[in-house]
Amino acid sequence: MKTRITELLGIKHPIVLSGMAFVSLPELVAAVSNAGGLGIFNSVANTPDQLKGIIQQIKSLTDKPFAINATLIFPNGKENAEVALAEKAPIINFALGKGDWIIKGAHAYGGKVISTVATERHAIRASEQGADALIVTGHEAAAHGSDVGGLVLLPQIASKVKTPIISAGGYCDGRGLAAALALGADAIAMGTRFVLTQECTVHPHIKQVALKTTMEETIYSAGIDGLPGRWYSNKRALEMAKGKTSYIEAMKAGWALRKQVDIPIWKLLFGSLQKRGVTELARQAIGIDALGKVLNDGDLDNGVVPFGQVVGRIESLATCKEVIESIVAEAEAVIRSLQGKV
């Protein structure tokens, strides 16, 4: 299936792995890219030195296009984007920040840049700055998405920009891909669906929980990590959504975050505080710490995990290749059937 995205990025299928912290690791990124989609690695939990090695690792696992995500609002975002540029990552995906300098740097060596947005205003700005593509994240998505559902958000943004669009939030099958194309997208991005694949290395307990989770068992709250987002509604997430965290817990999580991403304490305090403030910085640190406990250890008593609403529709643990090929085949069949109906 050819679209503007497949032509632009040099991929076979218009399907993208969402860049998920602790989840979109090199093996999963490479598996999606090798299956004809686009894998995106999320660098939020890595130091710049670590990221350099990770980029080389991904290159050793696939000769297909892949992307590196840099979340600019996080204290290591700028430095990790600089590493991606220095290593000439074929595609860079940035979110939550001003990325015109990334676009300029990547274009200088022939790279492509995808901007993740959740509002019409940010989509127009990224398009004007020269982003090659947009990931438009609707309200249905796991973690950080729009306050507006994709059925409304996607066609609105598609009517305002000429930039190719990757639609995220609520996708797991070919009917979804066909619908996204009809609404103005050129590809879809999936996070939760790729969590439930054989190549994904999240803790097995989390996969089993996800397979039993219904569409109603998620919450949308800014209380988990300081940004509005969608999470599995376990007891810990509900507590955090109500603001039930202590200063001691925040300090411990902040110190752990500083060590994990290897940044000076002054930068964590002054740089991040200027962007987000004390409360949001504390929530950011606690959220990352709680997320790691779940994905690495399967600890749902003390951690949180983002699930998209589509989690209730996923019933199997397939390979990435099986997922991608079945979605494309179903989408093509749906499009053909619609031609017969109209």
- Establish if 208 belongs to a structural domain: no
Residues 321 and 293 in one domain: no
Residues 137 and 261 in one domain: no
- Establish if 305 belongs to a structural domain: no
Average pLDDT of the residues in 54-58: 97
Half-sphere exposure of 16 (CA within 13 A, CB side): 34
Percent of the chain scoring above 90 in pLDDT = 68
Q: Residue 14 belongs to a domain with what CATH number?
A: 3.20.20.70
The tens digit of pLDDT for each residue in 97-112 reads 899 999 999 999 999 9
Residues 281 and 324 in one domain: no
What's residue 252's pLDDT? 52
The tens digit of pLDDT for each residue in 274-325 reads 444 444 444 455 556 666 667 777 878 877 888 999 999 999 999 999 999 9
What's residue 257's pLDDT? 52
What's residue 274's pLDDT? 44
Tokens 């590493």 — which residue?
Answer: 83
Strand partners for 67: 40, 91
Residues 242 and 163 in one domain: no
Q: Is the pLDDT of residue 264 over 80?
A: no
What's residue 175's pLDDT? 97
Q: pLDDT tier at 8 (50, 70, 90 boundaries)?
A: very high
- Establish if 310 belongs to a structural domain: no
At 200 the three-state DSSP class reads coil
Residues 15 and 143 in one domain: yes
Which H, E and C letters describe 80-138, residue by residue? HHHHHHHCCCCEEEEECCCCHHHHHHHHHCCCEEEEEECCHHHHHHHHHHCCCEEEEEC
Q: Is the pLDDT of residue 119 over 50?
A: yes
- Establish if 212 belongs to a structural domain: no
- Establish if 192 belongs to a structural domain: yes
Say how far apart CA 192 and CA 233 lie, in whole Å: 15
Which H, E and C letters describe 253-296, residue by residue? HHHHHHHHHCCCHHHHHHHHHHHHHHHHHHHHHHHHHHHHHHHH
The tens digit of pLDDT for each residue in 202-259 reads 999 999 999 999 999 999 988 777 778 899 998 888 987 887 555 455 555 554 554 5
Phi/psi at 329 (nearest 5 deg)? -65, -45
Give every strand in the sheet of 39-42, ordered side by side: 15-17, 187-190, 165-168, 133-137, 112-117, 91-95, 66-71, 39-42
What's residue 260's pLDDT? 52
b/e code 59-71 from CB counts within 10 Å (16+ = b): eebbebbbbbbbb
214: exposed, middle or buried (C-beta count within 10 Å: 0-12, 13-18, 19+)? exposed
Of the given ranges (69-83, 133-147, 231-245, 307-321), which has the lowest mean pLDDT?
231-245
Residues 105 and 245 in one domain: no
Residues 264 and 157 in one domain: no
- Establish if 311 belongs to a structural domain: no
Residues 278 and 129 in one domain: no
Specify whether the CB–CB gap between 171 and 331 falls below 8 A. Answer: no
Residues 224 and 259 in one domain: yes
Which residue range(s) make up the domain with 280? 218-297
- Establish if 306 belongs to a structural domain: no
Q: Is the pLDDT of residue 271 over 90?
A: no
Domain count across the chain: 2
Residues 73 and 168 in one domain: yes
Residues 172 and 265 in one domain: no
* Higher-confidence position of 129 and 305: 129
What's residue 266's pLDDT? 41
Which residues neighbour 44 within 8 Å (Cβ) at sequence distance 6 or greater? 21, 69, 71, 74, 76, 77, 261, 288
Encoding tokens for residue 61?
């696992």
Q: Which of 334, 336, 35, 11 is nearest to 175 (CA)?
A: 334
Tokens 């504390």 — which residue?
Answer: 282
What's residue 45's pLDDT? 82
Residues 93 and 167 in one domain: yes
* Higher-confidence position of 8 and 223: 8
Cα-based distances in Å from 175 to 215, 254, 334 = 17, 42, 7
Q: Is the pLDDT of residue 196 over 80?
A: yes
